[in-house]
Amino acid sequence: MIIVTGAAGFIGSNLVNTLFKIGFEVYVCDEKKYIINRKYFSLNKNYITVDNLGNFIKKNHNNIRAVVHMGAISSTAEQSLKKLLDNNTLFSYNLFKLCNKYRIKFIYASSAATYGNESKTFNDENNLLNYIKLKPINYYGLSKHLFDLKVLEEMNLHRTLPSYPVGLKFFNVYGQNESHKKFMSSPIPKFYDQAKLNGTIKLFKSNNKSFDNGKQSRDFVYIQDCIDVIVWFINNPKKYGIFNLGSGKSETFLDLAKIIFDVVKIENKIRFIEIPRNIKSGYQYYTKADLTNLRKIGYKKKFTPLKKGVKAYITGHLDI
């Protein structure tokens, strides 16, 4: 049995679909009002309320192979630190302790937002001195960073942990089932809609002298690549640590826009706009996952090139 929290969300829903397809017994946990409005997996009897999650694990721990904790407040613009700490840090820590108590594999979502803007190497080497240097630039990143530190502290205090925890620092994930995220979705569906509607894609101006307009860049990683990594850790339960999860490449927004124009066969036309005030202070200008640790632990599969992933996403899910 696999439990997936945040099962109605972007990564969670794709993970649940894949786990069902490859034959796992899956139990989903999220707010029911969101799950019942989703069409990409069957709710049937395999549902756990958020309030009952702890009791369910206690009663069924002998049958649980892994808990994959994707549930979180994922908005980088969220301004309530208490709300973020309660949901992303304290709830996660309680779930982590429960998995250690019952010796259940624990996999959770961290974020590249933990790195902030000062990181040049995005080094995920698993030691406290390395992680303490990180400076998240928004409350969301901070909430994820504090939990990473707690997991690292436990890993440093104990030779091994019964939950063999895995933290995944997701970079800019894109793909099917992200539309409900609206403003927090990847830029691909937004750029696609803009290109189809008026033939122009709007990019943010740069407020950083080191980056020209449109030259801000991200490590875009295709959703199926992320799911493949999670399934690999489920199937390799003794592997543990905190790992970057991106493609290992950084692509500019101008390059991304060109790919989308090429896929939809529209002339390249860009308009630059100001960065919205509510995300300006927490805006990252560059991200690129260092995959050294992930490769070192034994994950060998290649990641989908951006052009291939965007084309598959648009032709298979957006342009229908």
- Point out the residues that are catalytic: 140, 181
Contact 110, 171 (CB under 8 A): no
- The neighbour count for residue 278, using CB atoms within 10 Å, is 13
Alpha-carbon distances, residue 294 vs 54, 240, 268, 302 (angstroms)? 30, 10, 37, 12
Alpha helices in 117-270 (DSSP H): 128-132, 139-157, 187-198, 223-235, 253-264
Handedness of CA 188, 309, 226, 18 (dihedral sign): positive
- 10 Å CB burial of residue 151 (0-12, 13-18, 19+) is buried
Contact 269, 199 (CB under 8 A): yes
Alpha-carbon distances, residue 271 vs 160, 188, 198, 202, 280 (angstroms)? 52, 16, 11, 5, 18
Helix axes 306-313, 253-264, angle to 10 degrees: 50
Alpha-carbon distance of 223 to 299, in angstroms, equals: 16
Which of helix, strand or coil describes residue 48?
strand
Alpha-carbon distance of 84 to 87, in angstroms, equals: 5
